[in-house]
């Protein structure tokens, strides 16, 4: 097995074209354990962390660009990012241990295509897009369209994610992410729930709900969103959103949880995450509002 560490996206694409059995990695926190567990080794490993664009974080005119290989520890330590996307920051901080987070990345967490990936539901409710290196140059796709099944993505051979694009939440909006795990930390989600809400006064003006670990891919729950929109998050609206989340699940029975248990937990976490997101939306201004206040 050969190892290469290109410094440009063009160099990385050329390496991938040169060897049909090559594989990229953005942190190797999944790749190395998989190889040790017996997965066939690629003939060429292409490390993306030496490409400056893939580890850069910037915000320009209300839009964030996050390199696909940026360590998640760099995001959770970024006060401005964590204030703007508290739920997404929380989800990023749940990927493994502190040591793992110095290597783990959104690109790896997404393209490993685990149904239980923590960052993916939170990326989806924040309408994240992925900029993808491809044979014709670059293309952009919604994060929601990348994973097609367990261990499977819509990326063609030789393609990889360069960076993620996120717009600042609109005024009065914020997010939250919750998961249930058997242990206190360093475990895989039995269920994960991400919610983003935008408030207009005391009412919910818009809502996004996404669930992880309850189906082959992350599940968006339009019925739960509809139950929340127009409400003041009263008990009836929250109960309806929870019921919709439970109904949207298509989980499996395994040693981590039964189908019935996962469905029940999905509803509970959706309810709690909605309440947290609403509290944040009411109490914490967006980055744009902070700038306006400073002026």
DSSP run (H or E) holding 271? helix 259-283
Answer yes or no: do 10 and 104 share one domain: yes
* Residue 254 Rama label (left phi>0; alpha psi -120 to 50; beta): beta
Answer yes or no: do 8 and 72 share one domain: yes
Residues in the chain: 295
Q: At residue 64, what are phi and psi to the nearest 5 degrees? A: -100, 140
**Total domains in the fold of the chain:** 2
State both tokens at 178: 């919750």
- Choose the final residue of a domain: 135, 167, 199: 167
Q: What is the pLDDT of residue 29?
A: 73
State both tokens at 54: 């893939």
Q: What is the pLDDT of residue 38?
A: 85
Answer yes or no: do 13 and 155 share one domain: yes
Q: For residue 183, give its domain range.
A: 175-283
Answer yes or no: do 12 and 121 share one domain: yes
Rounded Cα–Cα distance for residues 89 and 3 (Å): 31
**pLDDT tens string 44-82:** 999 999 999 999 999 998 899 999 999 999 999 999 999
Q: What is the pLDDT of residue 26?
A: 83
295 within some domain: no
Q: Are 9 and 133 in contact (CB under 8 A)?
A: yes
pTM, two decimals, is 0.92
User: Which stretches of the chain drop beneath a pLDDT of 50?
Assistant: 286
- Choose the final residue of a domain: 118, 143, 167: 167
State both tokens at 199: 């408030």
């Amino acid at each position: 097995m050969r190892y290469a560490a290109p410094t440009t996206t063009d160099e990385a694409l050329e390496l991938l074209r040169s060897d049909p059995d090559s594989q990229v990695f953005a942190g190797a926190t999944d790749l190395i354990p998989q190889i040790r567990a017996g997965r066939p080794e690629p003939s060429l490993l292409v490390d993306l962390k030496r490409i400056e664009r893939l580890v850069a974080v910037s915000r320009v005119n209300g839009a964030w660009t996050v390199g696909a290989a940026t360590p998640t520890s760099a995001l959770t330590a970024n006060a401005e990012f964590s204030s703007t996307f508290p739920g997404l920051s929380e989800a990023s901080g749940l990927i493994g241990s502190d040591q793992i987070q110095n290597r783990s990345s959104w690109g790896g967490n997404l393209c490993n295509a685990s149904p239980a990936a923590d960052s993916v539901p939170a990326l989806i409710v924040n309408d994240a897009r992925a900029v993808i290196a491809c044979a014709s140059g670059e293309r952009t796709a919604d994060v929601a369209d990348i994973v097609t099944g367990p261990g499977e993505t819509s990326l063609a051979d030789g393609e990889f994610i360069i960076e993620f694009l996120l717009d600042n939440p609109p005024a009065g909006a914020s997010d939250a992410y919750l998961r249930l795990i058997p242990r206190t930390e360093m475990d895989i989600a039995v269920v994960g729930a991400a919610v983003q809400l935008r408030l207009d006064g005391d009412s919910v003006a818009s809502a996004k709900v996404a669930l992880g670990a309850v189906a082959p891919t992350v599940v968006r729950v339009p019925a739960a969103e509809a139950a929340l929109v127009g409400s003041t998050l009263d008990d009836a609206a929250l109960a309806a959103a929870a019921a919709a989340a439970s109904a949207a699940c298509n989980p499996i029975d395994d040693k981590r949880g039964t189908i019935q248990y996962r469905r029940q937990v999905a509803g509970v976490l959706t309810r709690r995450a909605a309440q947290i997101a609403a509290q944040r939306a009411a109490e914490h201004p967006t980055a744009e509002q902070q700038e306006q206040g400073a002026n």
